[in-house]
Amino acid sequence: MRGPHNIWRLVRTGATLERTGAMNVVLDAFEAPPALRFVARTLGLPFKWLGYRGDPTMPPATRALTALGPAYIKFGQVLSTRPDVVGDELAVQLRVLQDKLPPFSIEEAKAEVERELGLPVDQLFSEFSEPVAAASIAQVHRAKIAETGEDVAVKVLRPNIERAFRKDVDAFYLAARMVEIFSPGSRRLRPMDVIEHFDGVVRGELDLRLESSAASEFAANTANDEGFQLPPIKWNLSARRVMTLGWADGVPLGDNSAIDAAGHDRVALGNRVLQLFLNHALRDGFFHADMHQGNLKVAQNGDIIAYDFGIMGYIDEYTRRVYAEILYGFIRRDYKRVAKVHFEAGYVPADKDVDEFARALRAVGEPIFGMDATRISMARLLTYLFEVTERFGMETRTELILLQRTMVVVEGVARSLNPHINIWEIASPIVTSYITKSIGPRAVITDFANTAMVLARFGPRLPALVEDALMAQANPPQVDRRPRKRWFALTAMIGALVGVGLVATIEVLL
């Protein structure tokens, strides 16, 4: 339940950071200025005794986030992929949040499987292991299907996870509301909308039936992607709080030593991770939105294996084209075009100066090109981008939040494999190919065909539309509304006929 009582949760957040020793670690990682350090310590120290103690065997930051709950753990998972932002030491500490959290007992897991699937575990599986991975929301057991002998992974939600996450997200809502009230300048970032979007994503992750469906659709879209594979879903052994899929054998993508020992090319793997993500986002508009190292493996043949489909992203065709044009403009260093795309899409208010915005974008993009990626401070770059968007009144685009977040995570994964990777060089062929296909003559024909198909759906209604039009003409109405309806009916009829003809013609041409 939302309300002022969540202030207590926010107070305990700061107190927990202080008590676990994570406050200094976090401030150092983000290179906080002296003024911010003073405020943070002044507010944290008096309430230190209210903080959660956490597991003293864990490093400070990991200890604090695990003590605070699943929503905070999710945040830590994202930061673990960005050593360029938080530093190598903190990134390594946070990486255990991906799949090495304390598990719940195997007895609880078996009881949950039995409740969800309606049969004892021993009847469904001939083997059922102790937890092999435990994350913020669920844990995974390796099992063998009794009927077929196939090795599978059984994912089971944590007990009472729905309630725990609700508590965290409610506190986030309060924090977002307080930011809007006390910092009017931040309203353009729409913090409440951001939290609502995050809330919706997590609710989907807490229903494993939706995850199974997403995995099935993702598998259909990527069936022909070279160097990429997904474990198959076992629908008969999946439910709301239990999901069963084929076992993925491979080396964890976060273990560089094991990857090197297996003889895999880390540079090629880093490039492929970025290319796969861009292909899925631009080509399909449906992408894996939680691509951290804990959800990726490298198969023996060198294929990248993805799993854990609780968070998937979707962007419509128009947004994909806008996103691709922006990337394409940066790749070509055509900042004027990038600025115009922002204005055309309504991302920047029309009363701002497009040339001035283009110059600001040039200051963001130019340092990237021709420079070793290890010399680029993403923390400083993100800070400057924030200043630019604030200056030009750009609002947060909630439909792009997941895309932007995933891009940050994927770049972090790729950089962990190859510290010298340059995302723009790797992105160029993918974005260029998409632009060629989506903003060219063939794309115009395809758009025309899709429009014609919509019009053609009026076909079965043509007789009724014609009859309505003729009846309206034979019996003039008393008010001046039926003529409009008559014209609408005739227009729809003509449009449907034209649509049918266009579809037939385009099918011949294509």
Three state DSSP letters for 221-247: HCCCCCCEECCCECHHHCCCCEEEEEC
Question: Which of these is catalytic: 84, 225, 290, 468?
Answer: 290
Q: Give the 3-state secondary structure of residue 418.
A: coil
Contacts of 381 (CB under 8 A, 6+ apart): 364, 367
Q: Give the 3-state secondary structure of residue 371.
A: coil
pLDDT of residue 33: 64
pLDDT of residue 88: 67
Half-sphere exposure of 304 (CA within 13 A, CB side): 30
Q: Give the 3-state secondary structure of residue 421.
A: coil
Whether residue 290 lies in the annotated active site: yes
Amino acid at 379: A
Query: What value, to the nearest 5°, has the Cα angle with vertex 276 and ends 435 and 81?
Result: 120
pLDDT of residue 243: 96
pLDDT of residue 5: 65
Closest CA to 20 of 68, 50, 56: 56
pLDDT of residue 477: 60
Contacts of 87 (CB under 8 A, 6+ apart): 28, 29
pLDDT of residue 415: 86
Block means of pLDDT (10 residues each) for the chain, length 510 residues?
A: 66 85 77 66 75 86 86 73 64 70 90 95 95 87 95 94 82 74 62 74 83 94 94 95 94 92 94 92 90 90 92 85 80 86 85 90 75 56 62 68 75 86 80 76 64 65 70 64 48 44 42
pLDDT of residue 238: 95
